[in-house]
Structure 1
Amino acid sequence: MTAFAHQRFEYSWGSVTWEIRSVNHRYLELSFKLPENWRQLEPSLRDALRKALQRGKVECALRVQLQNQEQSLQLNDKLASQILEAANGLKAHIAHTAPVNILELLRWPGVLEPQSLDNDTLSKQLLEGFRNALDEHLATRQREGEALAGLIEQRLESINKIVADIREKMPVIVIAQRDKLQQRIADLNTELDPSRLEAEVALIAQKADVDEELDRLDTHVTEVRRVLKKGGANGRRLDFFMQELNREANTLSSKAVVAESTQAAVELKVLIEQMREQIQNIE
């Protein structure tokens, strides 16, 4: 959602500068900084932004610099032609008519007048410039989104490796816990019913069983990748999966029976939090 666009346009009547900024936000919040003379553009700008964006705090600013219109004159061709036609018509009836003086013609009221700006034309040019700035803004967001997707993919790959490592080590961990329990019994120099020993080992294995959590982690990682590949405005969906991934990491931590599995759960939570922070920038 974070992006910036700056576009400047030069016209015969002056220059226009558009700036569009956006930062992270849960919803779409629009604000405009427009010259008072161009406040009527806001509904069109707001409609265009709502069609193009889904989330983000967006600020749109317009600066217009007009040239000195007092020095810009426009010839009224139609009026000048009518005056010349009338003068030529008089020549046909008056033998000694003086030729038409061009300077005198230009002094005729309405023939040469200050050039006025057509507000409709200016509005179209301003909106066209805004659309160009919006295209640049969207392109910037697209490039940032692609970069963020790459960073998220790296962390998903790290999560897959941690999950695979835990899955591979869990049988060894359960056996080690069984051996540790047997050693403690031997150190106490006491007899223990074999069935009771097996029950205790089964209880340890049950408490340490994290296959369900590992399966869900794999499923969530696959779904996050699918959403990233699909594209579009999926920031909220991705944020939901970050919550689910964090839930499974917390469960792994609570079921940890050795320091190694606790450390793995901590690493998972760090990776998930890094992704969550990046996803705040995704629409």
Structure 2
Amino acid sequence: MSVYSMTGYASGQQALAAGAEDAPSWKNAHHRLGLELRSVNSRFLDLGFRLSDDLRQHEPALRALLNQRLKRGKVELRAYLQSQGDDTVADPPPRLLQRLASVQDQVRVWLPDAAGLSVADVLRVAGGGEPMDDERTADALFALAKTVLDDFVAAREREGERLVQLIRERVAQLRKLAAAAAPLVPEAVQAQKQRFLARWQEALTAGGPQVAPEAAQDRALAEATAFAIRIDVAEELGRLTAHLDEIDAVLKKGGEVGKRLDFLIQELHREANTLGSKSAALELTRISVDMKVLIEQMREQVQNIE
């Protein structure tokens, strides 16, 4: 199953003829129907619609269509219906002009000072020509919406594949850092043990016969053991590796994985923080910092996954 990004864009247009059953070509079409879909990341599915007035009644059906295919993201659908002719403005029907003249006369009976209708007013009322057939417009709108939605989902899938590739690259880098960190702890313990022994040897020399050599060595070994327990990060590295394995499994399974991945990223960050707090060597601190950088990069990518 694919992994989908919450970021995507798609658009489409379709020619419509007003009233006629046989729609003419694009150049001779009376109207142009356009639809755009765009989205960014969001915690939930947040749908927004920007529809022209003659398409606003179709919002509930369009909302239901999007809900069937999309799960997360802030999605905006924009649809419009524009009149268009060859190179001239379409002539308003004579019957409409007669009706407008009659209405204007009636208005002036009661409001003598009312301004007369302008050419722009008439064209705006006329809508550029014959009225559109609502049923045919609805059929064309939903056919176009389904086509654009298919392109939109495909675009989100392609972006999702890119995000998966970026995340897997960082998972591989984290595994290398974890492998590099594993041998550093025994080395740090051994170095600290030698420092403890050196200190107790100095104390033994300064204290003279009052301090038994066996006691000094036992105390040094005990201190070294306590130090080893305090800085041991084997458990953190084990959990970190387990989280990386789970991320690989989730990406391979696909589907709605964004929230699951976000939780795993939080767990990775916790282990990297603990690794840094237990660090007893400069190199281990650097590894912890590098891990945090990679994990933060992964977080940015995961926040865009559905």
TM-score (norm 2): 0.75
Separation in 2, partners of 1:116, 1:39: 16
Separation in 1, partners of 2:288, 2:200: 30
Q: Give the share of equivalent positions with the same residue, in percent.
A: 42
* RMSD over equivalenced CA pairs, Å: 2.0
SS of the residue corresponding to residue 54 of structure 1 reads: coil
Choose the corresponding residue for 2:251, options 220, 228, 238.
228
Choose the corresponding residue for 1:122, options 110, 131, 137.
137
Aligned to 1:217: 240
Choose the corresponding residue for 2:10, options 5, 11, 19.
5
Q: Is the 8 A contact 2:200 2:220 kept in 1?
A: no
Separation in 2, partners of 1:231, 1:209: 35
SS of the residue corresponding to residue 257 of structure 1 reads: coil
Aligned to 1:268: 291
CA positional deviation for 1:263: 1.0
Q: Is the 8 A contact 2:12 2:144 kept in 1?
A: yes
SS of the residue corresponding to residue 140 of structure 1 reads: helix
Choose the corresponding residue for 2:33, options 8, 13, 16.
16
Separation in 1, partners of 2:201, 2:217: 13
Separation in 2, partners of 1:176, 1:234: 44
**Structure 1 residues 16-36: Cα deviation after superposition (integer angstroms, max 9, x where no partner):** 111111011111111101011
Q: How does 1:58-73 map to 2 (within 5 A)?
A: 58-67=75-84
Aligned to 1:131: 146
Separation in 2, partners of 1:198, 1:130: 74
**Structure 1 residues 46-86: Cα deviation after superposition (integer angstroms, max 9, x where no partner):** 1111111111111100121134696699xxxxxxxxxxxxx
How many aligned residue pairs are there? 243
Moved more, 194-203 or 235-244: 194-203
1:233 alignment partner AA: E
Aligned to 1:278: 301
CA positional deviation for 1:137: 0.8
Aligned to 2:182: 167
Q: Is the counterpart of residue 252 in structure 1 residue 252 in structure 2?
A: no
Q: Is the 8 A contact 2:9 2:36 kept in 1?
A: yes
**Structure 1 residues 181-215: Cα deviation after superposition (integer angstroms, max 9, x where no partner):** 22333455445622211110100110111111111
Structure 1: state its 5+ residue gaps.
Answer: 74-113
Choose the corresponding residue for 1:151, options 166, 173, 183.
166
TM-score (norm 1): 0.81
Q: Is the counterpart of residue 196 in structure 1 residue 213 in structure 2?
A: no
CA positional deviation for 1:6: 1.5
Structure 1 stretches of at least 4 aligned residues deviating more than 3 Å after TM superposition: 67-73, 114-117, 184-192
Q: Is the counterpart of residue 44 in structure 1 residue 61 in structure 2?
A: yes
Q: Which has the higher contact order (CA 8 A, sep 6+)?
A: 2
Q: Is the counterpart of residue 31 in structure 1 residue 48 in structure 2?
A: yes
Separation in 1, partners of 2:90, 2:291: 69
SS of the residue corresponding to residue 182 of structure 2 reads: helix
Separation in 2, partners of 1:217, 1:209: 14
SS of the residue corresponding to residue 30 of structure 1 reads: strand
Task: Give 1 or 2 for the bigger CA radius of gyration.
Answer: 1
Q: How does 1:77-156 map to 2 (within 5 A)?
A: 117-156=132-171
Separation in 1, partners of 2:35, 2:258: 27
